[in-house]
C-alpha cells in the first residue's frame, strides 16, 4: 500500500472525497485513512459502500453533498468528465473549485523519484505491461506492476529507489492525471474505442497523448494512422527521445519485426536480435508488437539484448488474453475474454483456423466491422448477449454459419459439441475460442468475470471421445 502521508500533510486538515469504489477507489480510501485523512466516499453499489465504511470512510451521497470543503475529489476512471456530459458530482466539484484527479496522479505525487514506465494504447497494453514487469524482475530490477492491470496504483508496493513502477494506463486514467509524466511513455496503437467517453477519435488521441507530457523517452507503435500522427507530434515537440515500433515496416529508430525476426535499430543501423515466432505464450503478430515495446523499455532500463530475450522466453502469459485453458481430444479451448472490441478479436482470429467462435456481449461502436477478412477461419460462431441480434445479421450477410446460443454456458456447450464432432472432418475444429469483440457488462461484472466463468465451464467439460 502506498503511503500518502506527504499529501496528507499538505491538506491543512481538510477532508478528501472519493467517488466510485471499485479497486482503485477502495485502495484510495484505505491509503488516505491510513495517512490520517478524513475520507467521505460514495458508490451506487451498497456492497461497495459497506466495504468503504469498513475501511474507515464516512458514507455520503456526493451527488447532493456540499463539496466546497473538500481538498480534492478522487474519482474512479469510469466516471465521465466531459462526454457525453460531466457526471453531476464532477460538475459540482468543478463549480466549487475542488481539484479532480485519480489514483495514478496520487501515486505520481508520492513516488519519490522512482522511475516510472507507463503503457497505454487501445490493445496490447496489458500484455506489454506484464511483459515489461516480467523482464525487469527476471533480471534483478524490482518492478512493481499495477494500474489498469492487477493491483490498483495505490495498492502496489513502492519499489526500492533503484526499482521501477510499471503501470498500464487507460485513456480514462490518463484523463485524471494533470501532472503525471512517466520517464518512459509507451503507446501501442489507436483504433476506435471509448468514443462515447471521449467524443471522437481526436478526443481519444488527446487523452492518450497525456502519457508523453514532459521529458523522457517515448515508444510509439506506428502501424496505424492515428498513432503515426501521434509519433510525428511527439517527435516535433522535441521533449522526448522517440522510438518507433512496427510489425509492418522497418523503422529508422526503434525496433521492428520482419518475417518473425526482431531487429534493433535504437542506435542507428538495424541489428538482428532473434526470432520471436516460437514464443508459445505470445502468439500472433500483435504480440510481436508487444515484444518490440517491452524490448525497447528494457534496453532503456539498462538491460542488454540477450538478457531481454532470455527473459521473454520465460514469460508465463496473462489470463484472459488468448490463454490456453484446456485441450480436449486435440481441440484447444482458448480464453480471450479481454478482446472487448473487433480489433482485439482480429488479433486472435488470425492465429487460428477451424474456429468455433464464441462472440457477443455488450457491443461497441462498429460491431464486427473489420473482421471480414478472417471469416474463412471460422467454422461456426456461437453468439451471446445483447449484441446477438445485430451480430447474427452481420454473420448472415457474410455467409458465416452460427448458433444463437444467448448465454455463455450454452455457447460453451454448443461449441464443445460442434468442435468434438468435427474432429474427424477435413481440417477438424482446432479451437474453441472465446473472443467476444464486446464489453462484458450485459451479463458479467467484468471481462475477468466472463473469462473466469468460461474457464470453469471448460474445466467441467467431459473428456470422452464425443460430447
Which pLDDT value is given to residue 275?
A: 97
Q: State whether 193 and 134 are in the same domain.
A: yes
Q: State whether 280 and 401 are in the same domain.
A: no
- Mean per-residue pLDDT for 330-334? 93
Among 31-45, 123-137, 191-205, 319-333, which stretch is predicted with the lowest mean pLDDT?
Answer: 191-205
Q: Is the pLDDT of residue 306 over 70?
A: yes
Q: Is the pLDDT of residue 168 over 70?
A: yes
Q: State whether 420 and 347 are in the same domain.
A: yes
Q: State whether 232 and 347 are in the same domain.
A: no
Of 72, 101, 130, the domain-final residue: 101
Which pLDDT value is given to residue 37?
A: 98
Confidence of residue 429 (pLDDT cuts 50, 70, 90): low
Among 177-186, 287-296, 425-434, 448-457, which stretch is predicted with the lowest mean pLDDT?
Answer: 425-434
CATH number at residue 223: 3.40.1190.10
Of 262, 290, 313, the domain-final residue: 313
Taking only the tens place, the pLDDT of each residue in 206-224 is 888 999 998 899 999 999 9
Among 17-26, 195-204, 259-268, 414-423, which stretch is predicted with the lowest mean pLDDT?
Answer: 195-204
CATH number at residue 68: 3.40.50.720
With respect to residue 2, please indicate whether it lies within any of the assigned structural domains: no
Which pLDDT value is given to residue 294?
A: 99
Q: In whole angstroms, what is the distance from residue 71 CA to residue 69 CA?
A: 7
The percentage of the chain sitting over the pLDDT mark of 70, rounded to a whole number, equals 96
Contacts (Cβ under 8 Å, ≥6 apart) of 354: 377, 379, 422, 427, 428, 429, 430, 431
Q: State whether 111 and 225 are in the same domain.
A: yes
Taking only the tens place, the pLDDT of each residue in 64-101 is 999 999 999 999 988 888 767 899 999 999 999 999 99
Q: Is 40 annotated as a binding residue?
A: no
Mean pLDDT estimate for the chain: 93
Q: In whole angstroms, what is the distance from residue 128 CA to residue 209 CA?
A: 18
Q: What is the 3-state secondary structure (H, E, C) of the chain?
A: CCCCHHHHHCCCCCCEEEECCCHHHHHHHHHHHHCCCCEEEECCCHHHHHHHHHCCCEECCCCCCCCCCCCEEEECCCCCCCCCCCCHHHHHHHHCCCEEECHHHHHHHHCCCCEEEEEECCCCHHHHHHHHHHHHHHCCCCEEEEECCCCCHHHCCCCCCCCEEEEECCHHHHHCCCCCCCCEEEECCCCCCCHHHHCCHHHHHHHHHHHHCCCEEEEEECCCHHHHHHHHHHHHHCCEEEEEEECCCCCCCEEEEECCEEEECCCCCCEEEEECCCCCCCCCHHHHHHHHHHHHHHHHCCCCHHHHHHHHHCCCCCCCCCEEEEEECCEEEEECCCCCCHHHHHHHHCCCCCEEEEEECEECCCCCCCCHHHHHHEEEEEEECCCHHHHHHHHHHCCCCEEEEECHHHHHHHHHHHHHHCCCCCCCCCEEEECCCEECCCCCCCHHHHHHHHHHHHHCCCCCCCC
Which pLDDT value is given to residue 465?
A: 45
Confidence of residue 428 (pLDDT cuts 50, 70, 90): low
With respect to residue 153, please indicate whether it lies within any of the assigned structural domains: yes
Q: State whether 412 and 364 are in the same domain.
A: yes
With respect to residue 466, please indicate whether it lies within any of the assigned structural domains: no
Which pLDDT value is given to residue 90?
A: 96
Which pLDDT value is given to residue 425?
A: 75
Taking only the tens place, the pLDDT of each residue in 384-410 is 999 999 999 999 999 999 999 999 999
Q: State whether 293 and 418 are in the same domain.
A: no
Q: State whether 286 and 349 are in the same domain.
A: no
Of 101, 135, 150, the domain-final residue: 101
Q: Is 380 annotated as a binding residue?
A: no
With respect to residue 467, please indicate whether it lies within any of the assigned structural domains: no
Q: Is 208 annotated as a binding residue?
A: no
Q: Is the pLDDT of residue 197 over 90?
A: no
With respect to residue 208, please indicate whether it lies within any of the assigned structural domains: yes
Confidence of residue 203 (pLDDT cuts 50, 70, 90): confident
Q: Is 310 annotated as a binding residue?
A: no
How many folded domains does the chain comprise? 3
Higher pLDDT, 379 or 430: 379
With respect to residue 38, please indicate whether it lies within any of the assigned structural domains: yes
Q: State whether 367 and 406 are in the same domain.
A: yes
Q: Is 126 annotated as a binding residue?
A: yes
Among 27-41, 121-135, 184-198, 384-398, which stretch is predicted with the lowest mean pLDDT?
Answer: 184-198
Q: Is 47 annotated as a binding residue?
A: no
With respect to residue 246, please indicate whether it lies within any of the assigned structural domains: yes
Q: In whole angstroms, what is the distance from residue 354 CA to residue 380 CA?
A: 8
Which pLDDT value is given to residue 200?
A: 66
pTM of the model: 0.81
Which pLDDT value is given to residue 423?
A: 81
Taking only the tens place, the pLDDT of each residue in 240-268 is 999 999 999 999 999 999 999 999 999 98
Q: State whether 92 and 238 are in the same domain.
A: no
Taking only the tens place, the pLDDT of each residue in 139-163 is 999 999 999 888 999 999 999 999 9
Q: Is 393 annotated as a binding residue?
A: no
Q: State whether 57 and 97 are in the same domain.
A: yes
| Domain around 371 | 323-459
Q: State whether 119 and 91 are in the same domain.
A: no
CATH number at residue 336: 3.90.190.20
With respect to residue 167, please indicate whether it lies within any of the assigned structural domains: yes
Which pLDDT value is given to residue 467?
A: 40
CA angle, residues 182, 265, 174, in degrees to nearest 5: 20
- Mean per-residue pLDDT for 175-179? 94
Which pLDDT value is given to residue 196?
A: 57
Amino acid at each position: 500500500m502506498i503511503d500518502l502521508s506527504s499529501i496528507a500533510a499538505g491538506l491543512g486538515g481538510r477532508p478528501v472525497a472519493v467517488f466510485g469504489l471499485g479497486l482503485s477507489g477502495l485502495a484510495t480510501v484505505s491509503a488516505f485513512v491510513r495517512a490520517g485523512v478524513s475520507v467521505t466516499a460514495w458508490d451506487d453499489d451498497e456492497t461497495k459502500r459497506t466495504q468503504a465504511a469498513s475501511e474507515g470512510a464516512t458514507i455520503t451521497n456526493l451527488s447532493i453533498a456540499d463539496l466546497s470543503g473538500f481538498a480534492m475529489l478522487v474519482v474512479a476512471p469510469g466516471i465521465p468528465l466531459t462526454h457525453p456530459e460531466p457526471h453531476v458530482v464532477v460538475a459540482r466539484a468543478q463549480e466549487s473549485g475542488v481539484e479532480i484527479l485519480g489514483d495514478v496522479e496520487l501515486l505520481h505525487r508520492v513516488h519519490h523519484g522512482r522511475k516510472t514506465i507507463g503503457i497505454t494504447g487501445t490493445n496490447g497494453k496489458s500484455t506489454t505491461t506484464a511483459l515489461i514487469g516480467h523482464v525487469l524482475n527476471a533480471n534483478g530490477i524490482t518492478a512493481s506492476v499495477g494500474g489498469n492491470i492487477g493491483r490498483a496504483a495505490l495498492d502496489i508496493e513502492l519499489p526500492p529507489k533503484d526499482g521501477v513502477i510499471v503501470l498500464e494506463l487507460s485513456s480514462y486514467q490518463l484523463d485524471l492525471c494533470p501532472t503525471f509524466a512517466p520517464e518512459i511513455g509507451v503507446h501501442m496503437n489507436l483504433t476506435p474505442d471509448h468514443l462515447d467517453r471521449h467524443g471522437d477519435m481526436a478526443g481519444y488521441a488527446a487523452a492518450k497523448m497525456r502519457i508523453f507530457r514532459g521529458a523522457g523517452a517515448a515508444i510509439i507503435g506506428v502501424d496505424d494512422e492515428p498513432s503515426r500522427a501521434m509519433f510525428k507530434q511527439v517527435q516535433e515537440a522535441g521533449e522526448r527521445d522517440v522510438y518507433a515500433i512496427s510489425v509492418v515496416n522497418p523503422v529508422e529508430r526503434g525496433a521492428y519485426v520482419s518475417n518473425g525476426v526482431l531487429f534493433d535499430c535504437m542506435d542507428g543501423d538495424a541489428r538482428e536480435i532473434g526470432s520471436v515466432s516460437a514464443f508459445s505464450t505470445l502468439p500472433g503478430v500483435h504480440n510481436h508488437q508487444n515484444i518490440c515495446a517491452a524490448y525497447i523499455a528494457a534496453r532503456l532500463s539498462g538491460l542488454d539484448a540477450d538478457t531481454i530475450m532470455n527473459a521473454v522466453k520465460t514469460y508465463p502469459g496473462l489470463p484472459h488474453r488468448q490463454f490456453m485453458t484446456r485441450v480436449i481430444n486435440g481441440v484447444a479451448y482458448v480464453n480471450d475474454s479481454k478482446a472487448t472490441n473487433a480489433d482485439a478479436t482480429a488479433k486472435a482470429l488470425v492465429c487460428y483456423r477451424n474456429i468455433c467462435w464464441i462472440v457477443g456481449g455488450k457491443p461497441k461502436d462498429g460491431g464486427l466491422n473489420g473482421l471480414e477478412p478472417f471469416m474463412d477461419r471460422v467454422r461456426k460462431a456461437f453468439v451471446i448477449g445483447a449484441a446477438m441480434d445485430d451480430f447474427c445479421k452481420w454473420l448472415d450477410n457474410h455467409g458465416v454459419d452460427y448458433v444463437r446460443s444467448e448465454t455463455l454456458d450454452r455457447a460453451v456447450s454448443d461449441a464443445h459439441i460442434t468442435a468434438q464432432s468435427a474432429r474427424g472432418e477435413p481440417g477438424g475444429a482446432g479451437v474453441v475460442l472465446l473472443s467476444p469483440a464486446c464489453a462484458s457488462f450485459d451479463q458479467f461484472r467484468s471481462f475477468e468475470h466472463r473469462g473466469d466463468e468460461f474457464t470453469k465451464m471448460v474445466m467441467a467439460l467431459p473428456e470422452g471421445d464425443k460430447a
